[in-house]
Amino acid sequence: MIDDMTDPAPEPTPSDSEPQTRAEIGAAELASLLAKAEGELAETKDKLLRALAENENQRRRAQREREDAQKYAAANFAKELLDVADNLRRALATVEAGDLQDERAKALIEGVAATERALFAAFERHGLKRIEPQIGERFDPNAHEAMLEVPNTGQPAGAIVQVLQAGYRMHDRLLRAAMVGVAKGGAPMDDTPRVDQTV
């Protein structure tokens, strides 16, 4: 008798089961893997953007430091020259050219004045400006240093009544505050804006 039995299906070999395993992963697992990959991509993108921003900030900071170094490189040298400028000014203040009778003394004073002009021209070329407060001007702690208070001046309190020494700025930095005497007592100054007097 012929056996009606059909041969049983062959057992799947390991190579046949591999495609089935991939097919069995399912949509939920694929979505989970995709979400994880997207999260890692977003995190990597965020890190990259932060690194680029930090790099740009460092570049700008270095550029600003280079500019400041160029702008203010001569600040210490300029501070030392301020005493020279003060002494030239004092020499000129002690003598009026009309008071001198001797031609050689007049020539000497003219030479000192020419030296002072040349020094101030060099100061200007390098961004150094003289702060020469005016009598009656409001005291400004950002540009002036009060050395003394003078009572009974007839000026409002806080007004400059005496200039002892000019101040100097280099670009936007104060190198030396102007030394002044201010009025003590009296009515306070009004709040009108102060006008900067720089030479």
pLDDT tens column, 154-177: 888 889 999 999 999 998 889 999
pLDDT class of 67 with cuts at 50, 70, 90: confident
Running DSSP on this structure, what letter comes out for residue 184? E
Identify the residue with better confidence: 119 or 10.
Answer: 119
Helix (H) or strand (E) holding 94: helix 75-94
Query: Of the CATH numbers 3.65.10.10, 2.30.22.10, 3.40.50.150, 3.30.1490.100, which one belongs to the domain with range 129-191?
Result: 2.30.22.10
In the three-class reduction of DSSP (H, G, I as helix; E, B as strand; rest coil), residue 37 is classed as helix
The tally of CA atoms less than 13 A away on the side-chain side of residue 109 is 17
Read off the pLDDT of each residue in 31-59 and give the average, rounded to a whole number: 91
The pLDDT value recorded for residue 22 is 54
Report how far residue 155's alpha carbon sits from residue 174's, in angstroms, rounded to the nearest whole number. Answer: 27
Written as six digits, the tokens of 176 are: 């030396």
Which is nearest to 95 in space by CA: 83, 103, 105, 104?
105
Over residues 136-142, mean pLDDT:
91
Could you give the 3-state DSSP secondary structure of residue 179?
Answer: strand
Q: In the predicted model, is pLDDT for residue 147 greater than 70?
A: yes
pLDDT at 95: 79
Residue 121, pLDDT above cutoff 90: yes
Q: How far apart are CA 182 and CA 123, in angstroms?
A: 28
Domain ranges of the chain: 25-73, 74-126, 129-191
pLDDT in the model for residue 185:
74
CA distance 51 to 39: 18
Q: What is the pLDDT of residue 100?
A: 72
More confident residue, 92 or 199: 92
Among 139, 176, 131, which Cα is nearest to 160's? 139
Cα→Cα distances 49→38, 43, 44, 53, Å:
16, 10, 9, 6
Residue 194 pLDDT class (50, 70, 90 cuts)? very low
Tell me how far apart the terminal alpha carbons of the chain are, to the nearest angstrom: 129
Give residue 145's pLDDT.
92
pLDDT at 193 over 80: no
Under 8 Å between Cβ of 100 and 109 = yes
Instruction: Look at residues 145, 146, 156 and name the one whose alpha carbon lies nearest to residue 184.
Output: 156
Q: What pLDDT score was predicted for residue 54?
A: 93
